[in-house]
Amino acid sequence: MTRYVNFVFSCCVAWGLLLLTNVAVATDQFLSVAVTQVQPQSEYRALRRYSGNVKAARSSELGFKFGGTIAKVEVALGAQVASGTLLASLDTAAALASLSRAEADVSLAVANLRALSAELQLAQQTEQRFRNLRVQGHIAKQTYEEQQLNLRAKTAQRSVGVAQLQRAQASRKTAEVALRESQIRAPYAGRIQTRHVDEGSQVSPGQPVLRIVEISKLEAHIGVPQTVAAALRSGDTHNIVWSGTVLPAKLVTLLPEIDANTRTQTAVYQLEQSTLPVGAVVELQLDQTINEAGYWVPLGALTESERGLWGLYTVDSAQTVQRRLIEVLHSDARQAYVRGTLQPNDRVISTGIHRVVPGQRVKVADAPSPVPLVPTR
């Protein structure tokens, strides 16, 4: 009997050891996961980027005031020119002929007016002499009246001569202006951005021939949301990025018009760098603080969910996986700022999220690590 009891006792002990071993093995077989312990934040900082284009502070379409045939275009496309530089000229043969005719007409009108003035002066003297003779009774009344009519005629003829001279002088001035305006000169220092026509082309008055842009004063025109525009102030300095180069730029003004398509407002920045090509695409970088409560979580912790939301997994005190729905407010290369059903000190699974499901028992690999308060940019 004693031997039987000892046998049963030995079997029980062996069975118990086997159960303990199986439990230990089962515990070791739980999936090991890394977690991050999150803390609530009241705000977050984000680097916002908005694109735009480089524009010249001044640009002009240049043409001739009078039509004609282009004789010479003095500058090539892309040439840099100083203020007053001759850029293009018309064939002046017709303008010179018009000026020559106008000068001849002026000379003729001057000679004619001199003659008419002399005749008027003689008529005035004669009328005065006849008036005295009439007073003395030496001539008849009809003779004196005839002289008065002659004086009025000579006065009218001289008035016509004055008008003819004025018309001739006006024609000469027009011809001089046409000759002077047969040249296009640079209104300011700049670069020839567009060349519309070449030599031999017939152009009409005001038709664009060249386009010049002032390269010493460049601007960046950036479209920003209205909420962002409301926080900008003229005179503020922000970073403009072009081809990897960061250029500090001063905000000159905010254009009041709202773009109907993008619903953005144009911020105009003055660029100190004058070597940028007009039309180049640049990027405005704004470091903003957004007052929005949420949590920083590792980017690798996010999983896609339904209805445009995102999800992540947490580990509760019983080492069981729980799924939480969240909304991503901002993200960078490493982390995301989210809001949703998270609670302070929640342990968020940061790696291996595709190997877990809600309700699964897991083993936390190491002590949870906190997420930085400010993202690395």
**pLDDT value, residue 377:** 47
144 is written with which tokens?
A: 């004196």
CA dist 221 and 56 (Å) reads: 10
Q: Which residues pair with 281 in a beta bridge?
A: 53
Whether the per-residue pLDDT at 10 is higher than 90: the answer is no
Q: How far is 153 from 119, CA to CA, in rounded Å?
A: 10
> Where would I find the H helices in the chain?
2-28, 93-136, 141-180, 226-229
- Name residue 298's beta-bridge partners: 335
Q: Is the pLDDT of residue 134 over 50?
A: yes
pLDDT score for 28: 53
Least confident of 24-38, 68-82, 277-291: 24-38
Across 350-368, average pLDDT: 85
Among residues of the chain, what percentage have pLDDT more than 90?
Answer: 48
Q: How far apart are CA 99 and CA 104, in angstroms?
A: 9
Q: pLDDT averaged over the chain?
A: 85
**Could you give the CA distance from residue 214 to residue 88 in angstroms, rounded to a whole number?**
18
Instruction: Inform me whether the pLDDT recorded for 16 exceeds 50.
Output: no
Predicted pLDDT at 22 = 43
Structure confidence at residue 326 (pLDDT): 93
Angle between helices 141-180 and 93-136 (to 10 degrees): 160
Cα separation, 113 vs 158, in Å, equals 6
Q: What is the pLDDT of residue 296?
A: 95
Q: What is the DSSP string of 140-193?
A: -HHHHHHHHHHHHHHHHHHHHHHHHHHHHHHHHHHHHHHHHTTEEE-SSSEEEE
Is the pTM of the predicted complex or chain greater than 0.75? no
- Whether residue 362 has pLDDT greater than 50: yes
Indicate if the pLDDT at residue 257 is higher than 60: yes
Kindly tell me if the per-residue pLDDT of 2 is higher than 90. Answer: no
Q: What is the pLDDT of residues 195-215, one digit of tens each?
A: 999 999 999 999 999 999 988
- Quick one: DSSP state of residue 354? G
What average pLDDT does range 338-354 have in this prediction?
Answer: 91
Residue 8: predicted pLDDT: 42
Region 342-349: what's the mean pLDDT? 94
